[in-house]
Structure 1
Amino acid sequence: MSDLTPDELQRYARHLAMPEFGLAGQRKLKAAKVLCIGAGGLGSPITMYLAAAGVGCLGLVDPDVVEVSNLQRQLLFGQSDIGRPKLEAARDRLMDINPHLEVRLHREMFTAANAREIAADYDVIIDGTDNFPTRYLSNDTAVWLGKPNVYGSILRFEGQVAVFAPHLDAPCYRCMSPAPPKPGLVPSCAEGGVLGVLPGLVGTLQALEAIKLITGIGQPLLGRLLHVDTLSLRFRTFNLRSDPDCPVCGDHPTITEPIDYQGFCGMTPPPNVPTLTVQQLHEKRQKGEDHFLLDVREPDEYATARIEGSTLIPLGEVASRSAEIPRDRTVLVHCRSGMRSAKAVAALQEQGFTDVWNVAGGILAWAREIDPSVPAA
């Protein structure tokens, strides 16, 4: 294993002072390579604490740039980083925390096409994402490569942490969640919000679990799910069991290569949905062309940012409140990014609406391309 330099011996003195950890544990950390999928709310504390702890190599996967709405919880970044690629800003911050660190940047989406190639050279995979397709993909990839998957999720005031690792006689994510929730049932953090300190708490626990796995100290959350409710500050642990019928890690696996994860999670846009751009919407408004602008986001989202003149009917209520939508006018439907509105258009078509259109890109595209005064979050 790699020897420690005099600077490293001084830097990690508090680790070395613990007999349970000591020089052997620190050497294991230095030799380890950890992949963190996502450099956002969870990825920030995960990577900063692993860098400070002395993990030798950190791989980061994220295609995004820093936005002002990130700064409430993503402490890897500051005001001066707005507009920069997240991974470039993250690399600079992490190298400032620990110059002995190797940082590998994967500025791309973690997809079925590249997951195995990206993850193959790492010892531990940490899931710092906020969407179900990537959670299932990271789980499946970890199972196929025989690597532990440190899972974390956050929403509003609650979070979860677990370690999935069938090769260590523990269940995988699919054993706990064989099927994803129906689209729209569980909002994303962007839709439902998240308390700024929550990802700090959950991400730090994920970093802790990775350190335990690498060094062999303590008892990782293998076969256990930790749930935290920040409002009551209550921690509960639930036992998880391996599913012998699991399609990925069970006795007779049926999923042995990547699948269509977007389709599996019901996130494929409905086919044959008429679409117009935000530029076309803007032109219609400027020309005074008659239309009914329907916003299918949630009330909290609508209260924060809206397009003037829009009517709010959340996606889950569109079918039951279709009588409030005029059939003799052009109906233009938007949401945050275009996915929920596409589903709303399809639902209205099934009810006989003929002149109904999806606004591609939603309010994010409107704020970016038409009206920057509209908050984009």
Structure 2
Amino acid sequence: MLSARELQRYSRQILLPQVGEEGQKKLAAARLMVIGLGGLGSPVALYLAAAGIGTLHLVDGDCIDLSNLQRQVIYKTNHLGKSKAQVAAQQLTAANPAIHIHAHNRMADAPWLRRQAGQVDLVLDCTDNLEIRHVINRSCREARRPVVMASVQGFSGQLISFDFSRNRHPCYACLFPPQARSAAQNCSSAGVIGPALGMVGSMQALEAMKWLLGLPVPSLNQLHLVEAETLGLQSLQLQRQRDCPVCGQD
């Protein structure tokens, strides 16, 4: 039973037939992990907290730098030098004190993530490092947990989701084989425009909410390419690769 305060806070989304009171209860019961609290993780975490996701685990081992403020909209100038995970948790708690926030001031290395991924309902990969994405991909698959993955460079973004609760489905390594890691760039080396991160991060949060609500998830096994400079959107269906080192033996 939703309280009168919850009915008022979430009234605009409860009015939607795709959500309703039952959907809001699903969101309140959900446990999500956001890995990476930078340009993508900032809008993702803000929207999920505002929507009433019951428990958010925020994972990032970095501290806030002046160069982050151009795009990482959850932080302010007075936060410079502080832990991203801890500041983000404080900001989200101030925005919605009714939800549970857990700050993990650390990087999501493989041993830790293998233990933690199974404790949540869904993982959102908001990192800008290809090597960490492969760790997240493998760990979520081992834990049989769905993951929504996104990235942005320059004006160009990518979004894709995987449901690892099902067998014989593709994974991130089918799309980007691990041997391609050395060619990858991130925001520090390639540059990025802030609003493009907001666009893709909003899409990522929306896909996570649809997953929790039992609605169709268009990014499931489908790579969405977002071009912010032209407002173009293209989608490509991903097939499982038989020689994939992660899922090819299923």
Query: TM-score, normalising length from structure 2?
Result: 0.95
Structure ranking higher in helix proportion: 2
Alignment partner, residue 174 of structure 1: 173
Aligned residues: 249
The DSSP-based 3-state class of the residue aligned with 1:218 is: coil
Shift of 1:63: 1.0
Query: Any residues of structure 2 matched to 1:72-221 within 5 Å, and which?
Result: 72-168=70-166, 170-181=169-180, 183=182, 185-221=183-219
Cα distance in 2, alignment partners of residues 19 and 192 from structure 1: 42
Q: Deviations over 1:214-250 (max 9, x none)?
A: 1112334112110011111100011111223322223
Q: Deviations over 1:252-294 (max 9, x none)?
A: 5xxxxxxxxxxxxxxxxxxxxxxxxxxxxxxxxxxxxxxxxxx
Whether the 8 Å CA contact 2:14–2:21 is kept in 1: the answer is: yes
Whether the 8 Å CA contact 1:128–1:152 is kept in 2: the answer is: yes
The DSSP-based 3-state class of the residue aligned with 1:161 is: strand
Cα distance in 1, alignment partners of residues 22 and 181 from structure 2: 47
Alpha-carbon distance change, 180 to 98 in structure 1, aligned in 2, over 3 angstroms: farther
Runs of 4+ in 1 over 6 A off after TM superposition: none
Shift of 1:181: 2.4
The DSSP-based 3-state class of the residue aligned with 1:236 is: strand
Query: Any residues of structure 2 matched to 1:317-332 within 5 Å, and which?
Result: none
Cα distance in 1, alignment partners of residues 172 and 7 from structure 2: 38
Whether the 8 Å CA contact 1:154–1:199 is kept in 2: the answer is: yes
Between the aligned residues of both structures, percent identity stands at 39
Alignment partner, residue 52 of structure 1: 50
Gaps of 5+ in 2: none
Query: TM-score, normalising length from structure 1?
Result: 0.64
- Supply the AA of the counterpart residue of 2:170: P
Gaps of 5+ in 1: 253-377
Whether the 8 Å CA contact 2:140–2:164 is kept in 1: the answer is: no
- Alignment of 1:62 with 2:67, yes or no, is no
Structure 1 vs Structure 2 CA RMSD = 1.4
Shift of 1:166: 3.6
Alignment partner, residue 236 of structure 1: 234
Greater RCO (Cα-Cα under 8 Å, separation 6 or more): 2
Cα distance in 2, alignment partners of residues 105 and 188 from structure 1: 24
Of stretches 43-52 and 103-112 in structure 1, the one that deviates more from structure 2 is 103-112
